[in-house]
């Protein structure tokens, strides 16, 4: 039986340059466990069959960082960061199915390794149509008990997470280190996701995002999920990369159709057109039917119906004790009409486009405002 600190040794070994998941597991298989790898003599490690560059890198890293495993344990405890290794019982089985799954990942929140998951991806520069579709499908799937997976980026990712959090659970896979994520403009959304699901990454906590970190992020999104829904993807986009991984892993690909005149719909419409491409999705019900998942009765009615909004979204006076930018945003939202995000941004200068979705979600959860078709009102 592996010790409780084994995963920290696994993560530490993988921190050495040129040691990816395959090489790390090669060493662990040779010695039996990661702690034995870390304490083995140099001559013994040479027998494990690593390429010379990887061998030298690991030996140098270990010599220069003898206390690295202990420091990692202390760091994760202090920051309340979870660490999961491929040898742990709570490692998601679906992620383990892919070729070269990550040996470890860091996380905030609660892991549910056996949950049914669907990924939702798309453009960062969405239209109102894309926002509405992402939020509606995510909310309805979450209400049916399906976990929504996305990448916590601006645009479709953000609205997918927001929709899911209204009725259920979501997972954010990051293209950066988990601690670095709490320094970005979208950090409030990250914290909310961690409270209602889990935020995870296989990058070391301090890793900043780069062009090179996003394809591995997209790979994990596809690996975690039974299928991938694409909403508003251009001709060349990160969604294409995710769909490519989905195909490699035997996952299903779905596409929400868009206007033939919209550049943002080129990728989705091409998936639908091409042989072997995406299955058309018009609603969450299409996904539930495709997998024969039971639809929760609570979503049988149109959740954006005018009557539902007026009946279920009553403003609670206790929630009106708002301060700072929350209050400024609340004050500009009308009571008898609906306002768009762009109109709010034009009025409230203190908030950025990256921050506003998270703030609006908080106001919705406090029953201060209601959302309909991507617009907002006090109800």
Block mean pLDDT (10 aa), the chain, length 379: 84 92 94 95 94 95 96 94 94 94 95 96 86 93 96 91 95 93 80 93 91 92 95 73 88 81 65 66 91 63 37 43 83 86 83 78 78 79
Residue 25 sits in the same domain as residue 73: yes
Residue 290 to residue 12: CA distance in whole angstroms? 42
Which of 60, 79, 98 is where one domain is finished?
79
Residue 5 has φ and ψ, to the nearest 5°, of -95, 0
Say if 286 falls within a structural domain: yes
In contact, 172 and 150? CB cutoff 8 Å: yes
Say if 103 falls within a structural domain: no
Helix axes 21-31, 6-14, angle to 10 degrees: 130
Residue 234 sits in the same domain as residue 138: yes
Residue 177 sits in the same domain as residue 288: yes
Tens of pLDDT, residues 317-328: 444 578 888 888
Say if 97 falls within a structural domain: no
Residue 328 sits in the same domain as residue 199: no
pLDDT, position 267? 65
Residue 277 sits in the same domain as residue 151: yes
Which of 237, 270, 299 is where one domain is finished?
299
Name the 3-class secondary structure at 32: coil
Residue 294 sits in the same domain as residue 310: no
Residue 86 has φ and ψ, to the nearest 5°, of -65, -15
CATH number of residue 339's parent domain: 1.10.10
Say if 1 falls within a structural domain: no
Residue 187 sits in the same domain as residue 245: yes
CATH number of residue 275's parent domain: 3.40.50.450
Which of 299, 324, 348 is where one domain is finished?
299
Structure tokens at 351: 């908030």
Residue 277 to residue 268: CA distance in whole angstroms? 9
Among residues 249, 246, 263, 253, the alpha carbon closest in space to that of 230 is found at 253
Structure-derived torsion over alpha carbons of residues 75, 103, 215, 352, reported in degrees to the nearest 10 = -30
Say if 86 falls within a structural domain: no
Question: Which residue pairs from 84-91 have beta carbons closer than 8 angstroms and sit at least 24 positions apart in sequence?
Answer: 84/7, 84/111, 85/6, 85/7, 85/10, 85/11, 86/10, 86/21, 86/25, 87/2, 87/6, 87/7, 87/10, 88/7
Say if 98 falls within a structural domain: no
In contact, 355 and 348? CB cutoff 8 Å: no
Residue 135 sits in the same domain as residue 202: yes
Q: Which string of DSSP letters, residue by residue, matches 73-139? A: HHHHHHHT-EEEETTSTTS-HHHHTSSS--SEEEEEE---TT--EEEEEE-SS--HHHHHHHHHHHH
Structure-derived torsion over alpha carbons of residues 299, 194, 110, 138, reported in degrees to the nearest 10 = 20
Residue 59 sits in the same domain as residue 126: no
Say if 247 falls within a structural domain: yes
Say if 162 falls within a structural domain: yes
Q: Which string of DSSP letters, residue by residue, matches 335-350? A: SSS-EEHHHHHHH-TT
Residue 267 sits in the same domain as residue 310: no
Residues 243, 176, 116: CA angle, nearest 5 degrees: 45
Residue 284 sits in the same domain as residue 346: no
Residue 234 sits in the same domain as residue 140: yes
pLDDT, position 297? 40
CATH number of residue 27's parent domain: 1.10.150
pLDDT, position 327? 86
In contact, 303 and 136? CB cutoff 8 Å: yes
Among residues 314, 338, 330, the alpha carbon closest in space to that of 362 is found at 330
Number of domains in the chain: 3
Residue 137 to residue 142: CA distance in whole angstroms? 8
Name the 3-class secondary structure at 236: coil
Q: Write out the residue range of the structural domain in which residue 113 sits.
A: 109-299
pLDDT, position 125? 81
């Amino acid at each position: 039986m592996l010790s409780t600190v084994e995963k920290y040794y696994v993560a530490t070994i993988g921190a050495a340059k040129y040691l990816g998941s395959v090489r790390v597991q090669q060493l662990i298989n040779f010695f039996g466990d990661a702690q034995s790898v870390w304490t083995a003599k140099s001559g013994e490690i040479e027998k494990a069959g690593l390429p010379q560059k990887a061998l030298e890198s690991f030996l140098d890293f270990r010599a220069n960082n003898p206390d690295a495993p202990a420091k990692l344990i202390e760091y994760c405890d202090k920051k309340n960061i979870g660490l999961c290794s491929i040898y742990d019982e709570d490692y998601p089985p679906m992620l383990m199915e892919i070729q070269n799954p990550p040996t470890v990942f860091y996380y905030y929140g609660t892991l549910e390794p056996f949950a049914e998951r669907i990924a939702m991806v798309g453009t960062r520069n969405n239209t109102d149509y894309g926002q509405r579709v992402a939020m509606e499908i995510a909310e309805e799937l979450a209400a049916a008990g399906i976990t929504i997976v996305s990448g916590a980026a601006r645009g479709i990712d953000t609205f997918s997470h927001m929709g899911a959090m209204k009725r259920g659970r979501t997972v954010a896979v990051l293209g950066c280190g988990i601690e670095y994520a709490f320094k970005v403009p979208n950090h409030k959304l990250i914290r909310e996701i961690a409270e209602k699901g889990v935020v995870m990454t296989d990058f070391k906590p301090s890793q900043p995002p780069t062009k090179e970190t996003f394809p591995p992020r997209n790979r994990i999104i596809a690996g975690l999920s039974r299928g991938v829904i694409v909403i508003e993807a251009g001709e060349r986009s990160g969604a294409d990369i995710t769909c490519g991984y989905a195909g490699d892993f035997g996952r299903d690909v779905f596409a929400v159709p868009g206007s033939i005149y919209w550049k943002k719909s080129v990728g989705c419409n091409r998936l639908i057109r091409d042989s072997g491409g995406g299955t058309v999705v018009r609603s969450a019900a299409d996904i539930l039917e495709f997998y024969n998942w039971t639809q929760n009765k609570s979503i049988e009615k149109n959740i954006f119906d005018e009557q539902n909004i007026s009946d279920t979204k009553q403003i609670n006076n206790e929630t009106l004790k708002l301060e700072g930018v929350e209050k400024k945003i609340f004050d500009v939202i009308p009571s008898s009409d609906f306002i768009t995000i762009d109109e709010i941004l034009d009025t409230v200068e203190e908030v950025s486009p990256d921050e506003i979705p998270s703030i609006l979600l908080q106001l919705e959860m406090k029953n201060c405002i209601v959302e309909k078709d991507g617009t907002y009102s006090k109800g």
